[in-house]
Amino acid sequence: MFPLPQKECREPATCLGSASPQDMGRYCRGDVEGECSRRAELTRPELCGVGDPIAMFSSASSCLSSRGRVIKWFWDSAEEGYRTYHRDEYDEDKNPNGVINLGTSENKLCFDLLSRRLTQSDMLRVEPPLLQYPDWRGHLFLREEVAKFLSYYCKSPLPLKAENVVVLNGCTSVFSALATVLCEVGEAFLIPTPYYEGITRHVYLYGNVRLAYVYLDSEVTGQDTRPFQLTVEKLETALQGAESEGVKVKGLILINPQNPLGDIYSPEELQEFLGFAKRHSLHVILDEIYMLSVFQESLEFHSVLSLERLPDPQRTHVLWGMSKDFGMSGLRFGTLYTENQDVATAVASLCHYHGLSGLVQYQVAQLLQDRDWINRVYLPENLARLKAAHTYVSEELRALGVPFLSRGAGLFIWVDLRKYLRKATFEEETLLWRRFLDNKVLLSFGKAFECKEPGWFRVVFSDRPQRLRLGMQRVRQVLESNPK
């Protein structure tokens, strides 16, 4: 393991500095200040826009329906890097020159802990109910454990109820189901950008629901502001902009901790955002899938379920899953918590297509109820490994003189590579991304997250040390060979 650390587009006004761990989230220092002041003279980007996922759609397939052609087009256009990685995946022994994936947000640090726990005797049980059709909301024994788990780790003021829990095969399915049951075709959710790019597909492919962007930029305008900061004023502007284009907005999507920024919303911010949504009768979907991946000791995550009073509990819906916090993205477990029984029932109906096997539900319940193992074994070690990996990548970026956001939550770092673009365009950003891929390291580029500023990349650090070191060596090779 890594040694544990000791205790057409306009650029924005301020670039971010490579912050020290004590300085989480501070911005530019030293030799990058000149670059920052130069950018301060440029015009800020627009604050809102409505996404059209198929604006560039084209397909000549005569075998598929119009829906089928759109679905295929999403796959063809959005998965190039991921498909390249799977065709040429790095393996230390079998394929040492293969692609190292620092682009997909997966936690690969704790397989040893998970494999030991998942192969213990209490995980191996087969009974008739586990092999039969379940309650489509999920087996009651699992929903009860999920309610207890979320009550404890979300620090809810009152015990959460199993009747408000619906279990699906991943949060991808939860997003798709919620979009389908909450929105009419062509309606939209507000979402701050940059954001996890998969949500575009999740809400569109089934429900034909769009996203209305709340564009954030890296400009720091005062002592109490931070890069890419969301405010109610920006939400109001984006809502008005969408409505002026004739798009009906039905809800707001928030990711907390945020992907790709790593920001954690304070209780005060959450109340402000929820209050905004209530004033406009909007649903709020809170994606809290990284809630247990906060590895900086000075930070504290506050779940929306920890708030004493929700402004509009019938329109507040919370997602969590085991893909990130427990490094089990292949298990395909996600859960929805909502007090709105109409929403829960409608989503449960879609579980005919998105349910989990009874055997998996049993294993998940066993794991979630093992509070002793989670608190004494898994969480301390996982957080220590995340922190060590984050520290390693941060030090590599500082050595290269590369600015980045340092937040202390999530599995990734938001990295500013704008100075490596010959022009501030997304075409140049894509060319840089391809140079990384040609050098056998996969990153995620900012345009995929609808970032308005070309040149930002997400680097995932939650990989095993040997692969992470080699991946960062390949990143360094590209940057050192690329004229600034």
Distance (Å) of CA 281 to CA 251, 275, 437:
8, 10, 44
* pLDDT for the residue numbered 67: 85
Distance CA 409, CA 134 (A): 36
Q: What helix, strand, coil percent values describe the chain, rounded to 5?
A: 45, 15, 45
| Range list of H helices, 129-266 | 140-153, 171-182, 198-204, 232-244
* pLDDT for the residue numbered 198: 92
SS3 445: strand
Whole-number mean pLDDT of the chain? Answer: 89
Average pLDDT of span 356-384: 97
Average pLDDT of span 356-375: 97
Q: Give the whole-number percent of the chain exceeding pLDDT 90.
A: 80
The tens digit of pLDDT for each residue in 390-414 reads 999 999 999 999 999 989 999 999 9
Which residues, 6+ apart, have CB-to-CB distance to 48 below 8 Å? Answer: 212, 213, 214, 215, 237, 238, 240, 241, 242
The tens digit of pLDDT for each residue in 110-151 reads 999 999 999 999 999 999 999 999 899 999 999 999 999 999
- Of the two residues 374 and 75, the one the predictor is more confident about is 374
Q: CB atoms < 10 A from the CB of 7, how many?
A: 5
Q: Is residue 381 very low, low, confident or very high in pLDDT (cuts 50, 70, 90)?
A: very high
The tens digit of pLDDT for each residue in 162-174 reads 999 999 999 999 9
**Paired sense of beta strands 444-445 and 456-460, if any:** antiparallel
* pLDDT for the residue numbered 482: 77
* pLDDT for the residue numbered 229: 97
Q: Is pLDDT of 36 > 50? A: no
* pLDDT for the residue numbered 70: 85
Q: Which helix (H) or strand (E) holds 414?
A: strand 412-416
The answer to whether the CB of 207 falls within 8 A of the CB of 180 is: yes
Q: Is pLDDT of 387 > 90? A: yes
Which pair of tokens denotes residue 375?
A: 């608190």
* pLDDT for the residue numbered 43: 39
Distance (Å) of CA 189 to CA 54, 123, 283, 425, 469:
17, 40, 9, 27, 39
Distance (Å) of CA 451 to CA 112, 242, 429:
36, 18, 11
Q: Is pLDDT of 41 > 60? A: no
Q: Is pLDDT of 464 > 90? A: yes
- Of the two residues 328 and 23, the one the predictor is more confident about is 328
Q: Is residue 81 very low, low, confident or very high in pLDDT (cuts 50, 70, 90)?
A: confident
* pLDDT for the residue numbered 172: 95
* pLDDT for the residue numbered 335: 98
Q: Is pLDDT of 182 > 70? A: yes
* pLDDT for the residue numbered 16: 43
* pTM beyond cutoff 0.85: yes
The tens digit of pLDDT for each residue in 235-285 reads 999 999 999 999 999 999 999 999 999 999 999 999 999 999 999 999 999
Distance CA 294, CA 420 (A): 30
Which pair of tokens denotes residue 112?
A: 């040893």
Strand order in the sheet with 210-215: 48-50, 210-215, 188-193, 249-255, 283-287, 316-321, 334-338, 165-168
Return the CA Rg of the chain: 22
* pLDDT for the residue numbered 44: 40
* pLDDT for the residue numbered 66: 85
Q: Which helix (H) or strand (E) holds 427?
A: helix 426-438
